[in-house]
Chain A
Amino acid sequence: MNIPEILFYSFTFILVGSAFGVVFHRNPVKSAMFLVLFFVGLAAMYALLGAEFMATLQVLVYVGAIMVLFLFVIMLITVRDEALLNMSSNAGRTVIITVLVLAFSLQFWVLLGGFMKAKGEHVVNGAAPYSTEVMNYTTGEKLLITGNAEVISYALFEKYLLPFELISLVLLVAVLGGILLTKHKRETLQ
């Protein structure tokens, strides 16, 4: 067992443990803290895969921003320990349970079928993971770009140009929704 494997298994342990902590802890604030640990562990996983850029973003966005909002919301609605248990109704439970069962059974099916064979096999077809071939538009020759941020920016700004621009619209709708739903006096908005 080499060092990456040791790291992988220890981070897996942290991830699974903190995920259980999120679900089973009675105190919502502590659950949120376990979620922070989970996100940090996930960032470490990205780093182990060689995706440093994703790891940075994971810490920056999830731990830095989204968890702040989580804690805010928990404070905002002041849920006491276990108070959530009485709040949830049956309406969504069947949906959540069905979707979860579907997802887990499918992934189990994939893993059971492919686990033995897939060991050491690269699932992604084609080129090596973190490089991509682009065209130089002035000279017309092809060149290989490597590096995390570069590959991601190639995907974002060239291949997924349309979804990228649409993301700004989605964020815009989120801005509008946040303002319209939380502003105290709606009359001032007219």
Chain B
Amino acid sequence: MENIFKFQDLILSAPQMILISGALLILLLQVILPGFRKLLAFYITLISLFASLYFVTFGIPGTAFYGLLSGNPEGGTAFQGNLRLNGYIQHYSFLILLALTIILFFIKRVFAEQKLELAEVYQFLLYIGAGSIFTVSANDLMTMYIGLELSSLPFFILAAWDRGRATATEAAVKYFFLSTIGIAFMLLGIALVYGGSGSTMLSEVFPVVFAEDSFSYKLLAAGWFLIIGGFLVKIAVVPFHGWVADVYDGAPSVITAAMASIVKISAVGAVFRILQFMQPDMHMILNTGIIIFAVASMVYGNMAPLNQNNLKRVFAYSSIAHAGYIITMFMFFPESFKAISLRTEASSALYFYILTYALTTILAFATIAYLENGEERGLTFDHLKGLSKKNPFAAFLLSVSALSFAGIPPLAGFFGKLFLLKVLLSAGYYYLAVVMIVTSLVGVYFYIRIVFYAYWDFEDENATSGMLPPFRGIFAWSAAIVTAVLVLGLGFYSESIFNFARVASELIQ
């Protein structure tokens, strides 16, 4: 039995286990207690999220579970090597949990206002958290796949949560089909990797070396490319982007915030880990593909929203552009560049970027969720007219997120882009850096347009929209303020966060 399962396995997977037990507790209480309150579910969710956030940050004293602040622990494996724990994974777990906590606060208020609040929503958030952490920390492709399923299934349900609206159902169906196709091809890739190497465990696949023209080598290569392709559907870069606009637009806005942030965090964390296990000579083919996808995403994501009038769609297209920036960092591995330091730089730049991106996205979509009410959901630029007078706080939040997306200097988004550019330039990808700068300059137009509409004095501002309610709810206020402060202030601490992440990036495998 000791070979299969030890008590230590549970400790090493403490964050996930806490989330899962919280979710099961909510479900059990719903079954047992007749007068079960939604508020109790909310507090159970909050406590489990805070508990696992605490453990991820500070570790569990006296055990092998090191926290984020314990330097760069070697970590360990659990469940017979199915699960890996190290500083890099702790960083991404922390990010997932942070994003989930912020979203939980927003969901509480927004869903209560739209009469969509059920205890099950909170439970699904916990499943999403556990599944995402499993995806990032999996050392075995099967565990990674199941974790991905566990984190995507609740999203399909939550996207259709507002069942009365046809667009919500459409969004859920589209998201389900396209995301499932991505996952299915990933599964095919896992099968090919197993066929080529005889194992699904990442650390066992890696040492298997073949001659480059052998059948097994080709199986392995095809498998890796399919797995990465499946993740790229999740990240939504250009050839795989078709679903983004409709899904982000149709789903409830707070759920969109979760979709755009958490799915990307976990997918990026997992892909960057997988890349470390690929055979060295496969990287050259992969890099070509990544450059094409990245350039296409940057161009498309910044051009498509230029004549777009729907705010949620603007942010949806901009998320494609940001996915393009993100995947440029997938090109850096210890083998393709002999110096390991460049990989470390890329990893920490990516971490800082995804941190700022997730926070900004959450802020943008959560603010949109507040500005929508009632039956009418499509928030357009016209609705923003006079926003600074009617609801100055919302106008401020929206402007902060838009300017951070645009990369205006003191905000966090600027430093994120700066780090990416620095890595690209030091690796000699000058043309990619130029494309990135030019396309994001194009993108500045529609971000500035949001700020302009929110703050400019329009003649006809009273003619439009009674659909701007005041910002309400103590939880939402605090979450909004914390997120806005983070987006505003992270830039000033960018260097220390970057260095902090760099310590963890020494050991990714």
Contact = CB atoms under 8 A, between A and B. Distances in A.
Q: Do chains A and B touch in the complex (CB under 8 A)?
A: yes
A98 B127 contact: no
Contacts of A166: 134, 143, 146-147, 150
The 3 closest A-B pairs by CB, nearest first: A114-B215, A125-B198, A98-B239
B195 A170 contact: no
Interface in B1-25: 1, 3-5, 13, 20
B157 A106 contact: no
Contacts of B142: 160, 163
A181 B160 contact: yes
B348 interface: no
A169 to B, nearest CB: 6
Interface stretch (B225-233, B351-359, B404-412, B470-478): B225-233
A95 B225 contact: no
A167 interface: yes
- Which range contains the number of A residues in contact with the other chain? 35 or more
A92 B153 contact: no
B219 A163 contact: no
B134 A92 contact: no
B313 to A, nearest CB: 12
B218 A113 contact: yes
A109 B120 contact: no
Contacts of B215: 110, 113-114, 117-118, 121, 123
B188 interface: yes
B178 A95 contact: yes
Given A95-B240, A169-B127, A176-B120, A163 B198 contact: no
Interface of B: 1, 3-5, 13, 20, 27, 38, 79-80, 82-83, 118, 120, 123-124, 127, 130, 134, 140, 142-143, 145-147, 149-150, 153-154, 156-157, 160, 163, 174, 177-178, 181-182, 185, 188, 192, 195-198, 208, 213-216, 218-219, 222, 225-226, 229, 233, 239-243, 245-246
B146 A114 contact: no
A110 B153 contact: no
16 contacts: A89-B246, A90-B242, A94-B240, A99-B185, A99-B240, A103-B188, A107-B222, A109-B218, A117-B214, A117-B215, A159-B80, A160-B140, A162-B82, A162-B83, A170-B149, A170-B150
A4 interface: no
Contacts of B177: 92
Contacts of B79: 161-162
Contacts, number: 147
Contacts of A124: 195, 198
A17 interface: no
Given A94-B242, A95-B181, A117-B215, A102 B82 contact: no
Contacts of A99: 181-182, 185, 229, 233, 240
Contacts of B134: 166
Contact of B240 (A98, A160, A169, A173): A98
A161 B192 contact: no
Interface in A87-105: 89-96, 98-99, 102-103
Contacts of B182: 95, 99
A181 B157 contact: yes
B198 A126 contact: yes
B180 to A, nearest CB: 11
Contact of A95 (B123, B149, B214, B243): B243
A92 B5 contact: no
Interface in A136-190: 137, 158-163, 166-167, 169-170, 172-174, 176-177, 180-181, 186, 189-190
Contacts of B149: 170
A114 B242 contact: no
A179 to B, nearest CB: 9
A2 B495 CA distance: 69
Contact of B146 (A107, A163, A189, A190): A163
| Most chain B beta carbons < 10 A, residue from A90, A125, A158, A173 | A173
Nearest to B20: A169
A29 to B, nearest CB: 20
Contacts of A170: 146, 149-150, 153
Contacts of A109: 218, 222
B93 to A, nearest CB: 16
B156 A177 contact: yes
A167 B146 contact: yes
A82 B195 CA distance: 39
Contacts of A7: none
Nearest to B236: A95
A49 interface: no
B331 to A, nearest CB: 18
Contacts of B118: 180, 186, 189-190
A95 B239 contact: yes
Contacts of A123: 195-196, 215-216, 219
A61 interface: no
Residue of A90, A92, A114, A121 with most partner-chain B CB within 10 A: A92
B143 A125 contact: no
